[in-house]
Structure 1
């Protein structure tokens, strides 16, 4: 069965720095037409960083849309043309006192494919060291938090970690801990 929906037209509704919202007219697989609201996003990279003491590097930051501070792995949006691996290294060094020699790709996924094309690239940091001198962006306020595997398990069980990218990365780490 062909499930392809084909764009007939697209109208920009809103252009806000890195997010763009479109109202698209589409042709459905059965030949009928419909509409889709789509958010275009440049994508993001995030990094699972484990210290030599076997603690995961997390950041606590206020997320306005949720009305609360969330505990997350370091992450950030891709600049135009930026390699996601370089973005992951940059975000780790900007948001925390840690840096890494390099990163290895774990996986990538769509954050909300029902209405957004954002792809998140998840990396594992290699050779993590507490030596970064970079600073967060001017509008970014973050607190570095280090958790052991047991603390992560407890925080997940208590719903203290509820960010999708973080849960995916941490489950990858925890599977290797068992």
Structure 2
């Protein structure tokens, strides 16, 4: 099967390859190859959600989102989740529960996002941000976050997915 790397940035590649469809037809398909990511829903002892207000250059604006990050050097998703939670928020979790996964852009990207709920959080320490990260940490109730989703204040798909799945799985009823 023919495959060509069109572009590479960090550990993400844009490739073009020949793919045989279930019908037997061969097509040329362009795909973003992504190592995967961990998305973490930190819930405080009083039930508030820790969110990031992060400047995203690709959108040229600030967005509200959960802590998340790309899996590095073949690390397992749980290790990535623990690392990203601490780096981006300064918090550590005594308990991290896997919620499953989602495929955010299956039409053109092979990324899998691994979802986690983090509880029993320690007091925040110093964030350890990458040089291109501008992040403010904030907290809000589930009711407030749901209103932000309805009002298009919070539009980040991984955040909406992770919060929705955690709610469906009963994490806010505990």
Q: Shared fold by TM > 0.5?
A: yes
TM-score (norm 1): 0.89
Query: In the alignment, what sits opposite 2:67?
Result: 74
Q: Secondary structure at the match of 1:138?
A: coil
The Cα of 1:102 is off from its aligned counterpart by 3.1
Q: Secondary structure at the match of 2:148?
A: helix
Residues in 2 aligned to 1:20 and 1:45: alpha-carbon distance in whole angstroms: 19
Residues in 2 aligned to 1:81 and 1:97: alpha-carbon distance in whole angstroms: 23
Q: Structure 1 runs of 4+ off > 4 angstroms?
A: none
The Cα of 1:15 is off from its aligned counterpart by 1.5
Query: In the alignment, what sits opposite 2:7?
Result: 14
2:53 pairs with 1:60: yes
Residues in 2 aligned to 1:169 and 1:146: alpha-carbon distance in whole angstroms: 16
The unaligned stretches of length 5 or more in structure 1 are 1-7
2:26 pairs with 1:33: yes
Q: What does residue range 1-178 of structure 1 map to in structure 2 within 5 Å?
A: 8-175=1-168, 176=170, 177=172
Cα deviations by residue, 1:60-115 (Å, 9 ceiling, x for unpaired):
11112222211000000000121111111111111113211131100111121111
Which of 1 and 2 has greater Rg? 1
Preserved CA contact (<8 Å) 1:89 1:102: no
How many residue pairs are counted as aligned between the two chains? 171
TM-score (norm 2): 0.91
Residues in 2 aligned to 1:172 and 1:23: alpha-carbon distance in whole angstroms: 33
Preserved CA contact (<8 Å) 1:105 1:122: yes
Preserved CA contact (<8 Å) 2:117 2:166: no
